[in-house]
C-alpha cells in the first residue's frame, strides 16, 4: 500500500452531439411541410377546438385526430418572457421575447420568439404575425420569429385543408449539442494520474479485501467506499478475449486484432485492453502479458506477451 | 390482492447530502454512498436485508449513457439484488418501490436518487426533455419556460413581483436551519434572469443526492419509532403542448392530490417541489393549502434543487418532520418537466402520539 495525497482533480471537456433523425406522422408532416410553403395548419379535435401546433391524438380524449385546417399567420400573444441574453440555438441572437402565440383561428398557442426592441414593446394581448425564414426546409424554425403587427387577422381564419403538398417533408433531423466538463472523481483521477506515470493503481475494499482496478471508489459487493490504494501489475494474465474483425471509425488499427480481459497481478477484477506483438490467432487464455506505452502516452497503448509460461487456469478462473 | 389486504407502507429513514454548486472531487457514487450508509445505519439494515432497490437519475446530466449503473456500486449490487431505475426524479422511484411493497413482494425498499448539474449547463440540458418536433429545436431553456408561466400568473392577477420575492425570501430564511441547503438566509432578488423572473426567483444549480428507506406494517414499526405512513400517493401529467395548457393552473397536481386522499383532512405541513417562486403560487392553489399550513420549512427547491433528487427530498423532508413529531399529517409534492408538467403527490401521516 502507498499513502498518496489527494490527487489533482482531473477535468476535460466532453461534447455530446447527436443528429436525431425522426420520422413524421401524417399530421406533423403536413404541419412542417406547410411551414415550408408559408401555410400554418392546425388540427380539429372532436369537440371542435383547433390545436396549433397540431398533434395526432386529442390531449383530452386520446382520440386519433386528422382533420386539418389552415389558420392565419397573425395572432395574439397569450404570455411572454423577456430574454435579454439569448443562448446558443435560440431563434434570435439579439434580445427577444419568448411568446406563446394563439394564431387567429386557433384555440391553442404556439411557442416561438418575438422580435421587438425591448420588454416595454411586449404585452399579453398584443397582435403579432409570422416572419418567415428566408430559406425554409420543413421545420419549426421555418418561422424565423414573430413580429409586431397592427391589424386584423390575415386570411384564412380556420379553413379546411387537405394537408397535401408536393414533395412532403417526412422526417426531420434535430441536431443537438450539449457541452460538459467531465470530472471523473477522486478514485478514477488517481488511477488516470498514476497511469501517466506508467503505474497502475487499484483500490482495496476494507471489507472483502478485493482489489478493484480501475477503481471506482466503491466495492460493488460490499457497497462501501474503497480508499486503500494498491499498485498492481504491471504484468497480467489474459482471462478471455475476442478477435475484432470490423474496423471502427477513426481507429488507426489494422483488423483483425485481439481485445482481451486482463487480470493484472494483484488485482481481483480484470480490465480490458488490446493485445499486440503476437499473431491474433495465437492469443489464448492464460497468456502472460505486459503493458506497452508509446512515447508520451498517458495510458498503455496495448499489452504484449512477456514470454513467461502461460498461467495455470486455477490461478485466474475466478476472474474469467 | 384486494386493496384492503395490501400492506401499509411507511418512510422509515431519510438522508441527504449537502447540496453544493460543484462536487468535482466526487464521482456520482462517491457523492451518493455516504447518504446510503446514513439511511442504512438509521434503520440498522444491511444491503442484503433490503427487499427492493429503486433509483432515479438522468444520463443527460452526466452526459454519459447508463450512468446510473456506476452508482449501483455504492449499493452493493453483487450478488444480484432486486433493482430498478427511473430516468427522472427519485420521487417516481419511490412510487415504483411503494407499488412493489404494496404487492407484498418485499417488506423493505431502498430508494435513492442523485444528480450532478455542475458538469453541464442545466438550463440547456433540460431542453432535451421537450417536444423534439416543435419546441426543442428552438432551445427554450428551463428559466425561460418558467418565466412564461410566471407572466401568465401575473397577467391573471394571481401574483406580482413583490409576492414572488416574498416566496423567495421566506424559503431561504427557512433554509437557514437546514444544514444541507445550498442557499441559506437572505439572498438578493437580483437582476432579471428571464423577465419577469429574477435570479432570486430561480433555484440554485447544484449537485446532491438523497435516499429513503421504506418498510411495511410491523417491519416499519421495528425500524422507526414513528414511521411516516404513506396514506396515499399518485402522479399525473399535463398535455405536453405548453400552449394547450392553462399555465396558471395545475389540474394534474389537483387530481393526484385527490387520488392520494389529500382533501379528506387538513395537513399541517407541505413540502412542495417548486423550483421557481411562481410555481409555488400554482401549487398552493392546486393543493388548496390553508394559510396555516407550514410550507417548505426545509427551504424547498429554492434553497437546494439537485436535479432528480429534489422531489424525493420533499417526501423525505415531510417524513422526517413526522419522524421527529413536528408534523402529524403532511403533503409532499414532486415535479418534473417544464412548467410543472408532471406532478406526484404523497400524503404522509404519523400515528397518534400518547
Ligand atoms: Zn468488498
For the domain that residue B73 is a member of, what is the CATH number?
3.40.47.10
Let me know whether B114 and B134 are in one domain.
no
pLDDT at position A320, please? Answer: 86
Min distance B66 CA to chain A CA atoms (Å): 14
Q: d(Cα B203, Cα B201) in Å, to the nearest integer? A: 7
| Domain endpoint, select from B163, B189, B223 | B223
Of the candidates B215, B165, B150, B200, the residue with the CA atom closest to the CA atom of residue B10: B215
Indicate if the pLDDT at residue A103 is higher than 60. Answer: yes
The whole-angstrom separation of Cα A147 and Cα B216 is 59
- Digit-coded pLDDT (tens) for A262-286: 999 999 999 999 999 999 999 999 9
> pLDDT at position A4, please?
45
One domain for residues B48 and B105: yes
| Mean pLDDT over each residue of chain B, to the nearest integer | 95
pTM: 0.94
The pLDDT > 90 percentage for chain B reads 88
DSSP string covering B92-148: HHHHHHHHHHHTTS-SEEEEEEEEE-TTS-HHHHGGGGS-TTTTGGG---HHHHHHH
Do both B187 and B316 map to the same domain? yes
Note the pLDDT of residue B354.
Answer: 65
Claim to verify: residue B133 and residue B268 sit in the same structural domain: yes
pLDDT tens by residue, A23-82: 999 999 999 999 999 999 999 999 999 999 999 999 889 999 999 999 999 999 999 999
Asked if the Cβ–Cβ distance from A187 to B27 is below 8 Å, we say: yes
Instruction: Kindly state whether residue B99 falls inside one of the protein's structural domains.
Output: yes
Alpha-carbon distance A293 to A303, whole Å? 9
Region B216-227: mean pLDDT is: 97
Q: Which residues contact B265 (CB under 8 A, 6 or more apart)?
A: B329
**Do B284 and B254 sit in the same domain of this protein?**
yes
For testing the chain B interface, which of A185, A187, A208, A268 should be mutated: the one with the most B CBs within 10 Å?
A185
pLDDT exceeds cutoff 50 at A303: yes
pLDDT over 50 at A85, yes or no: yes
| Number of domains observed in the structure of chain B | 2
Average pLDDT over residues B141-148: 98
Residue with the three cell numbers 403538398: A165
The predicted pLDDT at position A5 comes to 46
User: For A43-97, what is the HEC assignment?
Assistant: EECCCCCEECCCCCECCCCCCECCCEEEECCEEEEEEEEEECCCCCCCCCCCCEE
Q: Which three cell numbers stand for residue B331?
A: 403533503
DSSP 3-state of B292:
coil
Based on the domain organization, do B104 and B212 belong to the same domain? yes
What domains, with CATH codes, occur in chain A? 20-175 (2.40.50.840), 232-319 (no CATH)
pLDDT given at position B317:
98
Residue B275 forms part of a structural domain: yes
Domain that residue B72 falls in: 3-119+205-223
Identify whether B305 is part of a domain.
yes
Asked if A18 has any chain B CB less than 8 Å from its own CB, the reply is no
A87 CB neighbours in chain B (<8 A) are 123-124, 139, 141
| Shared domain check, B74 and B109 | yes
Residue with cell 431563434: A91
Residue A20 has pLDDT above 50, yes or no: yes
Task: Name chain A contacts of B149, Cβ cutoff 8 Å.
Answer: 79
Query: Which residue is listed with cell 471508489?
Result: A217
Q: Which residues of A touch B123 (CB under 8 A)?
A: 87
pLDDT in tens, A180-209: 999 888 888 999 999 989 999 999 999 999
Name the band, by pLDDT with cuts 50, 70 and 90, for residue A2.
Answer: very low
Please state the rounded mean pLDDT for residues B228-245.
Answer: 96
Q: What confidence category does residue B1 fall into, taking pLDDT thresholds of 50, 70 and 90?
A: low
B354: in domain:
no
Q: Does A25 touch chain B (CB under 8 A)?
A: no
Q: Does a structural domain hold residue B70?
A: yes
**pLDDT bucket at A148, cuts 50 / 70 / 90:** very high
On chain B, the residues whose CB falls within 8 A of the CB of A60 are: 239
**Which residues are within 8 A (CB) of A31 and not within 5 positions of it... i.e. 6 or more apart?**
A40, A41, A53, A54
pLDDT (0 to 100) of residue B70: 84
Instruction: List A residues 30-49 in contact with B (Cβ-Cβ < 8 A).
Output: 32
Cβ atoms A43, A54 nearer than 8 A: yes
- Among the partner residues B25, B120, B196, nearest to A9 by beta-carbon distance: B25
Q: Which of residues 54-93 of A touch B (CB under 8 A)?
A: 55, 59-60, 78-84, 87-91
Q: Chain A window 222-241: which residues touch B at a Cβ cutoff of 8 Å? A: 222-225
Same domain, residue pair B265 and B129: yes
Q: What is the tally of helices (H) and strands (E) in chain B?
A: 11, 12
> In the 3-class helix/strand/coil scheme, how is A204-215 assigned residue by residue?
ECCCCCCEECCC
* Nearest residue in chain B measured CA to CA from A80: B148
B48, B99: one domain: yes
Residue B61 included in any domain: yes
Contact B77 A225 (CB under 8 A): no
User: Is there a contact between A109 and B243 if contact means CB atoms under 8 Å apart?
Assistant: yes
Q: Same domain, yes or no, for B240 and B131?
A: yes
Residues B87 and B10 in one domain: yes
Is residue B11 in a domain? yes
Grid coordinates 486455477 are at which residue?
A314
Same domain (yes/no): B84, B143? no
Task: Give the model's pLDDT for residue A16.
Answer: 94
Any domain includes B47? yes
Query: What is the nearest CA distance from A54 to chain B, expressed in angstroms?
Result: 9
- For residue B205, give the 3-state DSSP assignment: coil
Smallest Cβ distance to B78: which of A79, A179, A220? A220
Are A149 and A74 in contact by the 8 Å Cβ rule? The answer is yes
Amino acid at each position: 500500500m502507498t499513502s498518496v495525497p489527494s490527487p489533482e482533480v482531473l477535468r476535460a471537456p466532453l461534447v455530446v452531439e447527436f443528429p436525431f433523425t425522426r420520422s413524421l406522422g401524417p399530421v406533423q408532416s403536413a404541419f412542417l411541410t406547410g411551414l415550408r410553403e408559408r401555410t400554418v395548419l392546425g388540427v380539429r379535435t372532436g369537440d371542435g377546438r383547433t390545436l396549433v401546433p397540431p398533434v395526432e391524438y386529442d390531449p383530452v380524449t386520446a382520440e386519433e385526430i386528422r382533420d386539418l385546417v389552415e389558420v392565419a399567420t397573425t395572432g395574439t400573444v397569450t404570455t411572454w418572457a423577456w430574454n435579454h441574453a439569448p443562448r446558443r440555438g435560440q431563434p434570435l441572437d439579439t434580445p427577444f421575447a419568448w411568446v406563446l402565440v394563439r394564431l387567429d383561428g386557433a384555440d391553442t398557442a404556439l411557442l416561438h420568439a418575438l422580435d421587438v426592441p425591448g420588454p416595454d414593446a411586449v404585452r399579453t394581448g398584443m397582435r403579432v404575425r409570422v416572419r418567415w425564414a428566408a430559406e425554409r426546409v420543413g421545420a419549426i424554425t421555418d418561422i424565423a420569429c414573430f413580429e409586431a403587427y397592427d391589424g386584423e387577422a390575415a386570411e384564412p381564419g380556420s379553413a379546411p385543408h387537405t394537408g397535401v403538398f408536393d414533395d412532403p417533408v417526412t422526417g426531420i433531423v434535430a441536431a443537438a449539442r450539449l457541452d460538459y466538463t467531465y470530472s471523473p472523481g477522486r478514485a478514477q483521477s488517481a488511477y488516470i494520474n498514476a497511469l501517466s506515470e506508467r503505474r497502475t493503481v487499484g483500490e482495496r475494499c476494507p471489507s472483502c479485501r478485493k482489489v478493484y482496478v480501475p477503481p471506482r471508489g466503491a466495492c460493488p459487493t460490499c457497497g462501501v467506499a474503497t480508499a486503500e490504494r494498491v499498485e498492481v501489475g504491471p504484468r497480467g494474465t489474459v482471462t478471455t478475449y475476442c478477435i475484432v474483425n470490423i474496423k471502427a471509425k477513426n481507429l488507426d488499427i489494422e483488423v483483425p486484432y485481439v481485445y482481451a480481459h486482463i487480470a493484472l497481478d494483484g488485482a481481483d477484477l480484470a480490465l480490458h485492453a488490446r493485445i499486440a506483438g503476437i499473431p491474433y490467432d495465437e492469443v489464448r487464455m492464460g497468456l502472460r502479458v505486459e503493458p506497452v506505452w508509446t512515447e508520451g502516452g498517458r495510458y498503455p497503448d496495448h499489452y504484449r506477451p512477456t514470454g513467461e509460461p502461460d498461467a495455470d487456469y486455477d490461478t485466474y478462473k475466478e476472474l474469467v | 390482492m384486494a386493496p384492503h389486504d395490501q400492506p401499509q407502507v411507511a418512510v422509515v429513514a431519510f438522508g441527504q447530502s449537502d447540496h453544493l454548486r460543484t462536487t468535482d472531487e466526487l464521482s456520482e457514487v462517491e457523492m451518493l454512498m455516504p447518504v446510503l450508509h446514513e439511511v442504512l445505519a438509521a434503520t440498522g439494515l444491511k444491503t442484503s436485508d433490503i427487499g427492493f432497490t429503486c433509483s432515479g437519475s438522468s444520463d443527460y446530466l452526466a452526459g454519459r449513457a447508463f450512468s446510473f449503473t456506476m452508482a449501483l456500486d455504492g449499493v452493493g449490487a453483487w450478488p444480484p439484488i432486486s433493482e430498478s431505475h427511473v430516468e427522472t426524479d427519485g420521487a417516481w422511484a419511490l412510487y415504483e418501490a411503494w407499488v412493489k411493497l404494496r404487492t407484498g413482494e418485499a417488506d423493505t425498499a431502498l430508494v435513492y436518487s442523485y444528480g450532478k448539474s455542475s458538469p453541464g449547463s442545466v438550463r440547456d440540458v433540460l431542453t432535451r426533455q421537450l417536444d423534439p418536433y416543435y419546441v426543442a429545436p428552438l432551445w427554450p431553456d428551463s428559466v425561460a419556460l418558467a418565466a412564461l408561466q410566471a407572466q401568465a400568473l401575473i397577467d391573471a392577477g394571481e401574483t406580482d413581483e413583490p409576492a414572488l420575492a416574498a416566496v423567495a425570501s421566506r424559503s431561504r430564511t427557512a433554509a437557514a436551519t437546514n444544514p444541507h441547503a445550498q442557499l441559506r438566509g437572505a439572498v438578493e432578488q437580483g437582476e432579471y434572469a428571464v423577465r419577469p423572473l429574477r435570479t432570486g426567483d430561480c433555484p440554485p444549480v447544484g449537485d446532491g443526492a438523497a435516499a429513503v428507506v421504506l418498510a411495511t406494517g410491523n417491519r416499519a414499526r421495528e425500524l422507526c419509532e414513528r414511521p411516516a405512513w404513506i396514506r396515499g400517493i399518485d402522479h399525473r401529467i399535463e398535455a405536453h403542448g405548453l400552449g394547450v395548457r392553462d399555465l396558471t393552473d395545475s389540474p394534474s397536481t389537483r387530481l393526484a392530490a385527490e387520488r392520494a386522499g389529500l382533501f379528506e383532512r387538513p395537513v399541517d405541513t407541505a413540502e412542495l417541489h417548486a423550483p421557481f417562486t411562481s410555481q409555488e403560487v400554482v401549487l398552493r392553489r392546486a393543493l388548496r393549502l390553508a394559510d396555516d399550513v407550514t410550507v417548505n420549512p426545509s427551504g424547498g427547491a429554492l434553497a437546494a434543487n439537485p436535479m432528480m433528487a429534489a422531489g424525493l427530498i420533499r417526501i423525505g423532508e415531510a417524513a422526517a418532520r413526522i419522524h421527529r413529531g413536528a408534523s402529524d399529517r403532511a403533503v409532499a409534492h414532486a415535479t418534473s418537466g417544464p412548467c410543472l408538467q408532471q406532478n406526484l403527490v404523497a400524503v404522509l401521516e404519523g400515528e397518534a402520539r400518547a
